[in-house]
Amino acid sequence: MDSAEFRNRGKEMVDYISDYMDTIGQRRVTPAIEPGYLRERLPEDPPMYPEDWDEIMDDVEQHIMPGVTHWQHPRFHAYFPSGNSYPSIMADMLSDAIGSNGFSWAASPVYTELETIVMDWLGRMVGLPKEFLPFTENGKGGGVIQGSASECILVSLLAARQATIRELKRQHPFVEEGVLLSKLMAYCSKEAHSSVEKAAMIAFVKIRILETDDKYALRGSKLAKAIQEDRSMGLIPFFVSSTLGTTSCCSFDPLTEIGPICKEENVWLHVDAAYAGNAFICPQFRYLMKGIEYATSFNFNPNKWMLVNFDCSTMWVTDRFKLTEALIVDPLYLKHSHSDRAIDYRHWGIPLSRRFRSLKLWFVIRSYGVEGLRRYILEHCRLAKRLEALIKLDSRFEIMNQVTLGLVCFRLHGNNTLNEKFLSSINASGKLHMVPASLNERYVIRFCVCSQTATDDDIDHAWHVITQMATDILQLMVK
Ligand code: PLP
């Protein structure tokens, strides 16, 4: 394809995308297909010769779209939102066209320069303490964009591990690193995302997964007790991952309790706010991050709830040198003449290659303004409250979480099997899509406000589908 054809086909693609967005509500939210559906439809071998663009696009509509779960659909209420907006799509188009690789400052300077600027903007937008924002404050901290929250958690844990082992090595120079490693203990609550357990698995350290209170929060007393028990057995607590906005029910660990313990015990405190962190751009939600000044690292995903397309997971640390010490490998072919003065983001994460992810953050923040983004978040929260109020009026249901942001957890009075059947019949109908979670062994249904343009009508429609399905399933149980 040359630029002349791209000019035409590109415009057609923009039309296709705009039509897709405008008519998405007419599609089934979940696909009605079985595993392996695509293999039956596509040829076994790749084409030997170029194919016509029209034929390729026909196949998109005929074979690809039927296998899509439409996360931007107004009836999609599963997981958390998947950020999306036209400014963000356009930034990714431009970034794909530029097609450079920003692993170091020298590799494509503006990639790094813009990333440091938008990370400072964003850090200030969510009210992070100045220790996290040193690019402007001349401190030790700093922000970086990673591909996912899982990566943010993993690199934080690796940095904490490295800092602890280094200190232990200084105290016990003749003890093998492997022996020291076997003593390290990390902590999180049972409501923390599974990526914390995975990070510990990758880093080859032990992890204790602690019980929560009746609000699904990790309490300071629980953590303090676990740390004392482990110390008395000769283990070395080194890392706590707390969560603001858990995946299952959007509960919040109290940083004001956990933080002082981590400080006292000299333990790295990571704060994972993958979804809820976006809400902190609204000052009225900042009370949920009280105690953030105790954190050593913090992450949230604008690609969840700030209209930025995947991938864009932002993290900050109070000491960037601790992060890079764990990750620096510096071969000659990657050195450059500004290495001592410039940020080289390849030392802040796992992959070498880096996309121009800051561009979409910059486009989105400028296009909506902080005010516009706040309005979007607040509207989702208002809509979640609307659904909560409807559920509370119907005695067949119970609310299972504290509805603070855009997530409502509920269930039918009755056992887990009833609720499982209830949710699978809703999902099978293709009229609405939600996913379950387990809270203290109880099967609950998660409803998240996801669509960028969600309205009262969407909530009322969802409630209509939920109540109709409830009536049907409860009648079936009586028969
Ligand atoms: N942490 C929390 C609280 C989450 O809800 C999620 C995913 O929903 C993750 C971490 C993992 O996010 P990612 O897919 O960006 O790794």
Q: Which helix (H) or strand (E) holds 6?
A: helix 3-23
Measured in Å, residue 248 CA sits from the centre of ligand 1 at 11
pLDDT in tens, 354-372: 999 999 999 999 999 999 9
pLDDT in tens, 227-266: 999 999 999 999 999 999 999 999 999 999 999 999 999 9
pTM score, two decimals?
A: 0.95
pLDDT in tens, 374-399: 999 999 999 999 999 999 999 999 99
Measured in Å, residue 157 CA sits from the centre of ligand 1 at 15
Closest of 230, 153, 159 to residue 192, by C-alpha: 153
Given the CA of residue 273, which atom of ligand 1 is nearest to it?
A: 3
Given the CA of residue 151, which atom of ligand 1 is nearest to it?
A: 16
Q: Is the pLDDT of residue 180 over 90?
A: yes
Name the closest-CA residue to atom 8, ligand 1. 247
Name the closest-CA residue to atom 5, ligand 1. 247
Give the pLDDT of residue 206: 98
Measured in Å, residue 443 CA sits from the centre of ligand 1 at 20
Is residue 33 within 8 A of residue 66, CB to CB? The reply is yes
DSSP single-letter state for residue 438: E
Give the pLDDT of residue 476: 84
Give the pLDDT of residue 162: 96
ipTM comes to 0.99
Domains annotated for the chain, with CATH where assigned, are: 100-356 (3.40.640.10)
Buried b (16+ CB within 10 A) or exposed e, 329-344: eeeeebeeeeeeebbb
Largest CA distance in the chain: 78
Measured in Å, residue 274 CA sits from the centre of ligand 1 at 5
* Top mean-pLDDT range of 136-150, 326-340, 416-430: 416-430
111-139 average pLDDT score:
89
Give the pLDDT of residue 329: 79
User: Cβ < 6 Å from ligand 1: which residues?
Assistant: 80, 148-150, 193, 195, 243, 245-247, 272, 274-275, 301, 313
